[in-house]
Amino acid sequence: MKTKYQGSSRVKRAQLQSLRRDFEILQIKDDESITCYYLQTMGIANNMRFHGEKMNGTTIAEKILRSLSLKYDYVVCSIEESNDIDALTLDEVQNSLLVHKQKMN
């Protein structure tokens, strides 16, 4: 029984390491929508949480803002300067990005 638990623990740890790598290297693609990128980021973050990672909304919001392409730089600066990132919800970050994206078009 102990050997089986240790094996499953190792598998979970390996899966979590893989998810951490995916989360770290995640970047928005030039032709990717904010909504798709948000969903992809949340999918990885939720899987990480499932595998035992302690991750709060601020960490995810910062990752999303940090990994956007250069065309979103002014939007990211605007969001960071006008809001307390620690107090922002993930939905507020997504909505702010979507509003700015609509104004860009």
| Entry pTM | 0.83
pLDDT (0 to 100) of residue 55: 93
Domain enclosing residue 68, as ranges: 2-104
**CB of 54 closer than 8 Å to CB of 71:** no
pLDDT (0 to 100) of residue 83: 79
pLDDT (0 to 100) of residue 66: 95
Alpha carbon distance 58, 31 (integer Å): 26
pLDDT (0 to 100) of residue 1: 47
pLDDT band at 50 (very low <50, low <70, confident <90, very high): very high
Residue 18 has pLDDT above 70, yes or no: yes
What is the count of structural domains for the chain? 1
Q: Which of 57, 25, 27 is nearest to 42 (CA)?
A: 57
